[in-house]
C-alpha cells in the first residue's frame, strides 16, 4: 500500500487508539485494484497514477482539515453557531462512512467521468465493405435510431400480416426465408403436410445498411435500446467477449416471437429441455408450461409440438384473425404422438398455447401498398417463393428440366406479365430497354417467342 499524501483513499480497518490521532489514510495501488500496469493510451500506468486524485478530486487542505476535525484536533470549525455540522465536515463524514471495502467500487463508479481512467481492451474489428475507402466500421448504422425505427416497422408489418399484435406470445409465428415475400393467406391455401417447411429451411434474414443477420438475432438486438458500441462489437463477434446467441425459447427455429439474447453456452444447455418436453408428451404425461432451469424459461408446451403442428396452429390463428375458413389438417400416419394439434384451442391440456381476441389483428398494414407479386414455383414439392422474376425463371430453367419446355415457357410468360405491372407501378422511370429485365419481358410478350430465346438468356440457377 502507498502512503497518503493529503488525499483520501481507503479508510484503515484498524480502530483508533483512545486519545490518538486518526491513522493516515491509504489508497490502493494499481495492481491491488486489478488494473493493468501497462502504459495506457494517455501514458499513465496503473502503478504510478495517483488514485487519490482519481477517487476524490478535492484539495488536500480540505481533507486534512476534515481528518483533523474527526480526530478532535480541529483546524476548522466542526459545527456552526446553531450546533449543526459544517458542510465540509458533513461531506467528509458521509464519504468516510461509506468508503469501506464493501463500497469501494460503488464509490469508484460515482467519480466524475472526467477524472476516471479508462482501460479499453484492444481487438480487431472489420471495416465496412460498402463504404468507399473502408473508412467506417462495419454495421455502424445499427446503432442509430433510424435502424431501430425501420426494424420496428418491419416487425410490426410481418406480425400484422399473420394476424397478431406485437404483444402476442401465445403461439409461434414461423416465417422461413422461402416464405418471406408471400401473402400468408396464399400460403394457407397452398399449405399441406407434404409442403410443410423442415428445420433445414433457411431462417428469415434481415439486412440493414452493410450487415445481414437472421431476423431473430436482429430482434434481440433492437429489443434493448439504446445500444453501446461495445455491444455492437459483441453482436458482430469481435473482441474477448462471451459469444451471444438468439435463443428460441419455443425450440422452433423459424419462430420470430419467442426469442432471448443470451450466451451460447445457455443456448446449448436448453437442448435438454426440449428432450424433456418430448419425453413427457410421448409418455402421455402432463407437460408443464415452462421449464424450471433457465431464465427466461423454455416454453415446454410449445417445444413439444412438432414442426407441422406448430405451422397448423399458426394458420388456425391466421384464419381466426382474418375471418377466413380453415381446413383442418388430418393427422399424419408417422406422427410421433397419440394426439395431433392443428387448431386453437388445443385438444390436450396445453394452456400456454393459446390466443386471445385482444392479440388478434384483422387489418393488414399492407392494405394501401401494392406488394410484389407472389412468385411461387409451381413445380416444387414444397412452397418456395422467389424475390425477383429472374430468380424464378432461373430456378425453373435449371431445377425443373423434367418439365416440358412449353409448360415452363407459359409459366415464365404468366409471371412476366405480373412483374411488368409491378415495375410500371413502382419504378416507371426504370421501365426502358436499358434494363435487361425489361428487354426479357418485352421478348416474352411477343407471340412468336420460343424456348430458344430463354436458352439464349443464360439464366443463373438457384
Q: What is the pLDDT of residues 270-328, one digit of tens each?
A: 999 999 999 999 999 999 999 999 999 999 999 999 999 999 999 999 999 999 998 88
Q: Using an 8 Å Cβ cutoff, are 293 and 268 in contact?
A: no
Give the contacts of 234 (CB within 8 A, at least 6 positions apart).
241, 242, 244
Q: How far is CA 438 from CA 222, 250, 434, 435, 451, in A?
A: 38, 45, 8, 5, 18
Q: Using an 8 Å Cβ cutoff, are 178 and 383 in contact?
A: yes
Closest of 438, 443, 447, 442 to residue 455, by C-alpha? 443
Q: What is the β-pairing status of strands 385-386 and 375-376? A: antiparallel
Rounded Cα distance between 369 and 363, Å, is: 13
Strands (E), 170-288: 205-208, 211-214, 244-248, 259-263
> For residue 376, what is the enclosing H or E element?
strand 375-376
**Mean pLDDT, range 224-231, rounded to an integer:** 92
Say if residue 169's pLDDT is above 90. yes
Pick from 80-89, 108-117, 136-145, 365-374 the range whose average pLDDT is largest: 136-145
Mean pLDDT, the chain, rounded, equals 79
- pLDDT bucket at 127, cuts 50 / 70 / 90: confident
**Mean pLDDT, range 377-399, rounded to an integer:** 92
Say if residue 164's pLDDT is above 80. yes
Residues in the chain: 462
Rounded Cα distance between 438 and 274, Å, is: 50
Say if residue 251's pLDDT is above 60. yes
Share of the chain above pLDDT 70, in %: 71
Per-residue confidence (pLDDT) for residue 10, from 0 to 100: 37
- pLDDT bucket at 81, cuts 50 / 70 / 90: low
* Residue 157, phi then psi, degrees to nearest 5: -65, -40
Closest of 313, 333, 337 to residue 174, by C-alpha? 313
Say if residue 11's pLDDT is above 50. no
Neighbours of 108 (CB within 10 A): 15
Say if residue 55's pLDDT is above 70. no
Rounded Cα distance between 225 and 156, Å, is: 17
DSSP state letter for 9: -
SS3 396: helix
Closest of 82, 53, 89 to residue 68, by C-alpha? 89
- pLDDT bucket at 57, cuts 50 / 70 / 90: very low
Query: Of residues 448 and 65, which shows the higher confidence score?
Result: 448
Rounded Cα distance between 144 and 252, Å, is: 30
Query: Of residues 142 and 126, which shows the higher confidence score?
Result: 142
Per-residue confidence (pLDDT) for residue 249, from 0 to 100: 97
List pLDDT tens digits, range 322-374.
999 988 899 998 899 999 999 999 887 889 999 999 999 887 654 444 568 88
Residue 112 burial by Cβ neighbours in a 10 Å radius (0-12, 13-18, 19+): exposed
Neighbours of 391 (CB within 10 A): 16
The maximal CA–CA distance of the chain, rounded, in angstroms, is 114
End-to-end CA distance of the chain: 69
- pLDDT bucket at 126, cuts 50 / 70 / 90: confident
Q: Is the pTM higher than 0.95? A: no
SS3 36: coil
* Residue 345, phi then psi, degrees to nearest 5: -75, 160
CA geometry: angle 287, 292, 293, nearest 5 deg: 125
Closest of 108, 205, 186 to residue 372, by C-alpha? 186
Please state whether 440 falls in left (phi above 0), alpha (psi between -120 and 50) or beta.
alpha
Residue 254 burial by Cβ neighbours in a 10 Å radius (0-12, 13-18, 19+): buried
Say if residue 18's pLDDT is above 50. no
Residue 392 burial by Cβ neighbours in a 10 Å radius (0-12, 13-18, 19+): buried
- pLDDT bucket at 387, cuts 50 / 70 / 90: confident
- pLDDT bucket at 42, cuts 50 / 70 / 90: very low
Query: Of residues 249 and 422, which shows the higher confidence score?
Result: 249
Per-residue confidence (pLDDT) for residue 96, from 0 to 100: 54
Ordered DSSP codes for 114-155: GGPPP-------PBPSSSGGG-SBTTGGGGSHHHHHHHHHHH
Say if residue 163's pLDDT is above 80. yes
Residue 356 burial by Cβ neighbours in a 10 Å radius (0-12, 13-18, 19+): exposed
Amino acid at each position: 500500500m502507498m502512503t497518503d499524501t493529503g488525499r483520501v483513499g481507503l479508510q484503515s480497518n484498524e480502530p483508533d487508539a483512545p486519545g490518538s490521532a486518526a491513522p493516515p489514510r491509504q489508497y490502493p495501488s494499481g495492481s491491488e485494484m486489478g488494473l493493468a500496469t501497462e502504459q495506457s493510451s494517455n501514458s499513465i500506468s496503473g502503478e504510478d497514477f495517483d488514485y487519490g486524485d482519481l477517487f476524490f478530486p478535492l484539495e488536500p487542505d480540505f481533507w486534512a482539515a476534515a481528518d483533523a476535525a474527526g480526530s478532535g484536533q480541529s483546524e476548522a470549525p466542526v459545527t456552526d453557531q446553531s450546533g449543526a455540522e459544517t458542510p465540509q465536515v458533513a461531506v467528509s463524514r458521509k464519504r468516510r462512512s461509506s468508503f469501506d471495502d464493501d463500497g469501494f467500487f460503488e464509490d469508484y463508479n460515482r467519480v466524475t467521468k472526467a477524472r476516471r481512467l479508462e482501460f479499453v481492451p484492444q481487438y480487431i474489428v472489420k471495416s465496412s465493405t460498402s463504404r468507399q475507402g473502408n473508412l467506417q466500421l462495419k454495421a455502424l448504422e445499427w446503432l442509430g435510431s433510424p435502424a431501430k425505427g425501420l426494424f420496428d416497422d418491419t416487425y410490426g408489418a410481418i406480425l400484422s400480416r399473420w394476424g397478431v399484435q406485437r404483444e402476442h406470445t401465445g403461439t409461434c409465428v414461423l416465417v422461413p426465408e422461402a416464405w418471406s415475400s408471400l401473402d400468408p393467406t396464399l400460403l394457407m391455401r397452398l399449405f399441406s403436410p407434404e409442403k410443410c417447411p423442415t428445420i433445414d429451411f433457411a431462417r428469415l434474414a434481415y439486412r440493414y445498411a452493410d450487415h445481414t443477420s437472421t431476423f431473430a438475432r436482429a430482434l434481440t438486438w433492437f429489443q434493448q435500446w439504446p445500444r453501446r458500441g461495445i455491444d455492437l462489437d459483441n453482436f458482430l463477434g469481435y473482441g474477448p467477449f462471451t459469444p451471444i446467441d438468439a435463443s428460441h425459447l419455443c425450440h422452433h427455429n423459424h419462430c420470430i416471437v419467442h426469442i432471448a439474447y443470451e450466451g451460447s453456452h445457455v443456448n446449448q444447455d436448453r437442448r435438454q429441455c426440449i428432450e424433456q418436453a418430448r419425453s413427457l408428451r410421448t409418455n402421455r404425461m402432463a407437460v408443464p408450461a415452462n421449464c424450471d432451469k433457465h431464465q427466461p424459461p423454455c416454453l415446454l408446451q410449445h417445444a413439444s409440438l412438432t414442426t407441422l403442428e406448430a405451422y397448423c396452429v399458426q394458420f388456425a390463428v391466421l384464419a381466426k384473425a382474418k375471418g377466413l375458413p380453415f381446413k383442418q389438417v388430418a393427422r399424419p400416419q408417422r406422427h410421433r404422438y397419440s394426439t395431433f394439434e392443428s387448431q386453437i384451442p388445443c385438444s390436450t391440456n396445453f394452456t400456454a398455447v393459446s390466443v386471445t381476441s385482444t392479440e388478434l389483428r384483422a387489418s393488414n398494414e399492407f392494405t394501401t401498398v401494392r406488394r410484389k407479386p407472389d412468385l411461387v414455383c409451381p413445380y416444387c414439392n414444397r412452397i418456395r417463393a422467389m424475390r425477383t422474376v429472374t430468380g424464378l425463371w432461373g430456378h425453373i430453367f435449371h431445377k425443373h428440366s423434367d418439365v416440358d419446355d412449353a409448360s415452363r415457357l407459359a409459366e415464365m410468360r404468366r409471371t412476366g406479365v405480373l412483374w411488368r405491372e409491378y415495375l410500371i407501378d413502382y419504378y416507371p422511370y426504370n421501365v426502358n430497354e436499358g434494363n435487361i429485365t425489361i428487354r426479357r419481358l418485352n421478348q416474352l410478350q411477343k407471340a412468336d417467342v420460343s424456348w430458344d430465346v430463354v436458352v439464349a438468356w443464360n439464366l443463373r440457377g438457384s
